[in-house]
Amino acid sequence: MNKNNQNSSRPALSNYVFRPEFSSLLILIVMFTITAILQENFFTLKSIVRNINAFAPLILLAMGAAVVIISGGIDLSAGSALSLFTCVLTTVMKKSDPITGVYAILVTLAVAILVGVVNGFGIGYLRIPPVIVTFATSYIWLGIGLFLRPTPGGESVEWFRIFYNPGMIEGIHPYIKQFGRVIPPALILILAACLIWFIVSKTRIGRHIYAVGSNSESAYASGINTAKVQMQACIINSIFIFLAALFFVGQNQSGDARMGDPLTLRAIASAIVGGVAISGGKGSVYFALVGALILNFVNKIIFFADISTAYQTLVSGLIVIIAIAAPVAYTLYSKE
């Protein structure tokens, strides 16, 4: 009781401590420390660059998932959309002609916006529950992906590696090669996503995404076009997925219509572990990044702790549950 009273007299501190995001940050620090202890060369430059590259796709998808969840929706088609984008990229690109790389980026960006529009149209204008819409569209994206690329493969222009590791491109200036070893392009993609959301969150669209997710009837009564807002959230999500697709093609130099599937639910889980409320309207897109890091570190810890493969999924599931339950227990305790 007394402790509580003291906290309330210092609102600046309690505002942070009582936010559900705060506990996810604590968990991340714990995970980070455990990983650093288990992995011997954790703090070497090479390892850091490698980790950022490994974490990037889930981070980008988690941020996208957070935008959609905050707007009151959910996206079960994120993984299939990611796969589709890699297929489109590798279909438009011809290895012999470097300029096709630019065409591919533009065409895929258009496809990404279209994917967002279709999801948003179903959710916002047709008012079909988001779970149903995106579950259905996930098969549509998969179908189109398989049509373009029945088996994994395809061509990619050489310079596309710039999205993964510029150091691997032949005949490039040595300075740029060195640069790629220090600052991985994956980090630039993540920063781009953060910047996009930073701009959006300072505009009317960002405010309205929170309003619609929190209470769409109230938002409608306030004169907000809720369907449009839901569509905008879907498009932003799609653009984040598009950034992840650029990274994948840069890394693998090929497209695969099925590669993204496992990421769908992991992205949603990351957003929730990061403190985004599944009911919408609450949470931070940046903390979805924290959630994605936690999920990635879970995998690393299990790998380095020499846990038998038979138990790996079990342990990772338990850690995720603790990560989600901790903030709930924390808020219950702090209310007391």
Q: Give the binding site for another protein (CB under 8 A).
A: 1, 4-5, 199, 202-204, 207, 210-211, 213-215, 217-225, 281-282, 335-336
* C-beta separation of 255 from 92 below 8 A: no
- Cβ-based nearer residue to another protein, 92 or 219: 219
Smallest distance from another protein to CB 265, Å:
25
Smallest distance from another protein to CB 232, Å:
14
Nearest to 333 by CA among 10, 13, 23: 23
- Cβ-based nearer residue to another protein, 25 or 224: 224
Smallest distance from another protein to CB 336, Å:
6
Give the SS3 label for residue 256.
coil
Smallest distance from another protein to CB 272, Å:
16
Neighbouring CB atoms inside 10 A of 3's CB total 8
Smallest distance from another protein to CB 229, Å:
11
- Cβ-based nearer residue to another protein, 276 or 302: 276
Instruction: Render 27-58 in DSSP notation, one character per residue.
Output: HHHHHHHHHHHHSTTTTSHHHHHHHHHHHHHH
The Cα diameter of the chain in Å comes to 72
Block residue for tokens 């879907």: 234
* C-beta separation of 121 from 127 below 8 A: no
- Cβ-based nearer residue to another protein, 148 or 205: 205
- Cβ-based nearer residue to another protein, 212 or 234: 212
Contacting residues for 190 by C-beta, under 8 A, at least 6 apart: 52, 56, 59, 60, 289
Smallest distance from another protein to CB 192, Å:
17
Distance of CA 312 to the CA centre of its chain: 23
Dihedral (CA of 260, 266, 271, 277) sign:
positive
- Cβ-based nearer residue to another protein, 28 or 67: 67
